Amino acid sequence: MKVPVSALYEKLLCLLPHHGLLGSLLNPCPRLLRQYSCSKTELVTATDLISYWKDVFEANEIPEAQASSEYIVSHVLGAKTFQSLNASNIARYFTLLFREQSLCPKRISKMPVQYVLGEWDFQDLTLKMKPPVFIPRPETEELVSLVLKDKYKKKKLSSACCRDIWQPPDPLGPVILEIGCGSGAIALSLLRKLPQSRAIAIDKLETAVNLTKENAERLQLQKRIKILHHDVFSSSWECLLHWGLVDIIISNPPYVFHEDMSHLAPEILRYEDLGALEGGHDGMTIIKEILNLAPYILKDFGSMFLEVDPRHPKMVKNWLHSHPDLSLFVSATHKDFCGKPRFLHIQKYKRRS
Ligand SMILES: C[S@@+](CC[C@H](N)C(=O)[O-])C[C@H]1O[C@@H](n2cnc3c(N)ncnc32)[C@H](O)[C@@H]1O
């Protein structure tokens, strides 16, 4: 995949450490400096560019240097991954190639690659990303999969013999409430996978609310989602009943213990909203508020799915034991791909009247 390099040569020189803006940012990368400075007739491949930026990132101690370089160069060339690039891509996007001039310095300033690209994939959706809105993490994809598995299981059960356990399914599909929607990753994936569902998504951060709205519109899901700028600690919760009581509450709340915050990667601390991460001294501040709210919002036998810290499943079980008035119980704990207890399935039982 060789790319001819006439006008390109000048631009490449600008990318090198002794030139322009980057000069002040980069540690030099002598091998490439020599390679790119020697001959104007040299051909440059996408692989060369990736290798160049990988070296620069490494020299600047940027984590995941190879992956970052591949993502940025491929993105500039119009592909998701380096493996999916082909020769015609390179020819077609050649004039755009040097957008990396503006993207790579952002990565060198330790901006997460998701913000650098301005988009990221979650499940089978491509979502817009914007600092400081929380970047969806891979384990949260498992949280979405758990809900889908549970819906499938319940559908099978309700069509068999257990009509006395589960309420008859709503012909309009489940109503889902997501607390702390960020970019909209969870709610929008569920809407896409459950075509008859409707969702309410709330976040206390206005930028997150706006980003979820933008993502919903880009994915043409806006008619089935109500997105609200709302704090879970607010005393008014009636607005959450836009479509009546809900079947499912789902949340990946801020759950990092206060004392663990300082151990987070510098990229996270510098760019992501810390209000999306910190859950108070025991990581439970928002979790407890969601549990307090749930009985007013959930249908009887409704489900709640939470992503938590591995220390939380025991703490939540104990806390619910001491709050029997909430009519909630932990029906299952699921492990993440690292084998850590990460997801809670909590259910509401029918209150005695
Ligand atoms: C860990 S992020 C999860 C974002 C998204 N659901 C995801 O998984 O990518 C937590 C989100 O909760 C929001 N949040 C924090 N405190 C909140 C509160 N009191 N009320 C509503 N949302 C809150 C944050 O703004 C943030 O967007």
The atom of ligand 1 lying closest to the CA of 255 is: 1
Any ligand 1 atom below 6 A from CB of 205: yes
Instruction: Work out whether strand 198-203 and strand 225-229 pair parallel, antiparallel, or are unpaired.
Output: parallel
- The SS3 call for residue 305 is strand
- The SS3 call for residue 2 is strand
Any ligand 1 atom below 6 A from CB of 286: yes
Q: How far apart are CA 205 and CA 286, in angstroms?
A: 14
pLDDT in tens, the chain (353 residues): 333 333 333 433 344 433 333 333 344 445 544 444 444 334 567 777 788 889 999 999 999 999 999 898 888 778 888 778 765 555 444 444 455 567 888 998 999 999 999 999 999 999 999 999 999 999 999 999 999 998 877 766 555 544 555 555 566 789 999 999 999 999 999 999 999 999 999 999 999 999 999 999 999 999 999 999 999 999 899 999 999 999 999 999 999 999 999 999 999 999 999 999 999 999 999 999 999 999 999 999 999 999 999 999 999 999 999 999 999 999 999 999 999 999 999 999 876 55
Any ligand 1 atom below 6 A from CB of 185: yes
Please enumerate in sequence order all residues whose Cβ is within 8 A of that of 314, keeping only pairs 6 or more positions apart, or say none: none
Any ligand 1 atom below 6 A from CB of 233: yes
Q: How many helices (H) and strands (E) does the chain have?
A: 14, 11
Q: What is the pTM of this model?
A: 0.84
Residue nearest to atom 13 of ligand 1 (CA): 180
Task: Using the mean position of ligand 1's atoms as its centre, give its distance from the Cα of residue 204 in Å.
Answer: 7
Task: Using the mean position of ligand 1's atoms as its centre, give its distance from the Cα of residue 188 in Å.
Answer: 15
Q: State the pLDDT at residue 44.
A: 63
CATH superfamily of 138-348: Vaccinia Virus protein VP39 (3.40.50.150)
Task: Using the mean position of ligand 1's atoms as its centre, give its distance from the Cα of residue 1 in Å.
Answer: 43
List where CATH 3.40.50.150 sits in the chain: 138-348
